[in-house]
Amino acid sequence: MTIAPLPSSDRPVIRMRPKMDTRRIRHGFPWAYANEVVTDRRTKALAPGTIAVLEDEHRNQMALVAVNPGSKIIARVVDADVSAEIDTDWFVARLTRALALRTRLFDAPFYRLIHAEADGLPGVVIDRFGDVLVIQPNAAWADVRIDMLAAAAVAVTGVTTVIKNAGGRVRSLEGLDDVSAVLHGTAPDAAIPVPMNGATYMADVMGGQKTGLFYDQRPNHAFAANLARDARVLDMFSHVGGFGLAALAGGAASALCVDGSAPALELATQGAAAMGASDRFEARQGDAFDVLTSLGEEGKQFDMVICDPPSFAPAKPALDAGLRAYERLARLSADLVVPGGILALCSCSHAADLEKFRTACVRGIGRAGRTPALIRTGYAGPDHPLMPQLAESGYLKALFFHL
């Protein structure tokens, strides 16, 4: 399904409810929620992804928005100019601006090219793997314009392959399907080697988690690598070897990578081999909490332990349970760190802000009988820019403790 651009004068209008505080949107907040907008019959009849003009209760124009009547986020701001045409040229301009930043930041074409609202494309994620782009159109407006977006991406970057990744929880919240596809070129027939922080990661862009690799931890991987010389390293929730391979690149004596996914660990094993580090690498499949418990019972000790779990608190209703899980993780992992060693604990739960996450970690470390000193608070890399008005874009936290 595609939606042809309408002349600005013919665009539908949606309106904020009376007495709603519109200052947030005027000051850059990019969303309007369903309970803030007048949802009359005409608004409910709009096709998901329709471009409309958002007005306040006094009919003053506020922004150009993408509408999805079936979503809790009923309107996403796409442009402050209500006369803008959301066409190929518009996409080219946004992508060109994003590419200019990434080429200043990185000397190789391996990065997040588009980080949703912070790069002016609400709900859209694009990761680059050399000549391959993986697009996650996680909002209806981008999904119905995916061909236009893909064509613009090819024009701007010159890549040979564009893949649509339709996995993930967010698309279901938008009422979108889970059908992935190759939009341009030919699908890779093997994992793509990705150089980062001196390590080599193998990205499965067709069958891996999310887009195939997590670029957001790049600066935190680098910090861990700088502390890893001659260290025995335990990398929990390692995915394709995130912190473990970075530590090996930094001169670690050994790295044990633990994950629940056998395919992810196979990619980590391939990465270690590509680096010539197979003799210092070990993989172990299993539930993280079970493995941590077993390692403790085995009397194992490590100079550095890193835990980078999936989100334990993806939304506010899961916050309390998520914080308890972070506390338990901190307790179990602290038991395995030698005196004077390093414990790194990470969270990608935007519902758990930094203070709550740090408190849970410190409580867990204390329950293990250890005394922590916080030596670094890390965040996502600069190819994951934070939109100051949108707290959710600052989701990643990485705490490094000296125990």
**Start and end residues for every CATH 3.30.750.80 domain found in the chain:** 88-184
Residue 274's φ and ψ, nearest 5 degrees, are: -65, -25
Q: What is the pLDDT of residue 260?
A: 96
DSSP 210-232: TTSS--TTHHHHHHHHHT-TT-E
Report the candidate in 145, 135, 126, 140 with the shortest Cα–Cα distance to residue 166. Answer: 135
Query: What whole-number distance in Å separates Cα of residue 216 and Cα of residue 218?
Result: 6
Burial per residue of 315-332, b for 16 or more beta-carbon CB atoms within 10 angstroms, e otherwise = eeebbeebbebbbbbbbb
Query: What whole-number distance in Å separates Cα of residue 145 and Cα of residue 131?
Result: 22
Decide the pairing of beta strands 110-115 and 302-307.
unpaired
Task: Say which CATH architecture domain 8-79 belongs to.
Answer: Roll (2.30)
**Start and end residues for every CATH 2.30.130.10 domain found in the chain:** 8-79
Q: Yes or no: say if 280 and 255 are a contact pair by the CB < 8 Å rule.
A: yes
The CATH code belonging to domain 197-402 is 3.40.50.150
Decide the pairing of beta strands 232-236 and 254-259.
parallel
Query: What whole-number distance in Å separates Cα of residue 392 and Cα of residue 350?
Result: 5
Q: What is the pLDDT of residue 315?
A: 81
Cβ atoms within 10 Å, residue 14: 22
Q: What is the pLDDT of residue 313?
A: 84
The token duo for 368 is 């293990």
Task: Say which CATH architecture domain 88-184 belongs to.
Answer: 2-Layer Sandwich (3.30)
Q: What is the pLDDT of residue 250?
A: 98
pTM of the model: 0.94
Q: What is the pLDDT of residue 9?
A: 57
Query: What whole-number distance in Å separates Cα of residue 249 and Cα of residue 159?
Result: 29
**Start and end residues for every CATH 3.40.50.150 domain found in the chain:** 197-402
Report the candidate in 211, 224, 102 with the shortest Cα–Cα distance to residue 157. Answer: 102
Tell me what percent of the chain is helix, strand and coil, each rounded to the nearest 5. 35, 25, 40
10-residue stretch averages of pLDDT, the chain, 403 residues long? 54 95 93 95 96 96 97 96 97 98 98 97 97 97 97 98 91 92 96 97 91 95 98 97 98 98 97 98 97 96 97 87 96 98 95 94 98 97 94 89 98
Report the candidate in 90, 216, 83, 204 with the shortest Cα–Cα distance to residue 153. Answer: 90
**Which residue in the block uniquely carries the two structure tokens 């949802």?**
39
Q: Which helix (H) or strand (E) holds 325?
A: helix 319-334
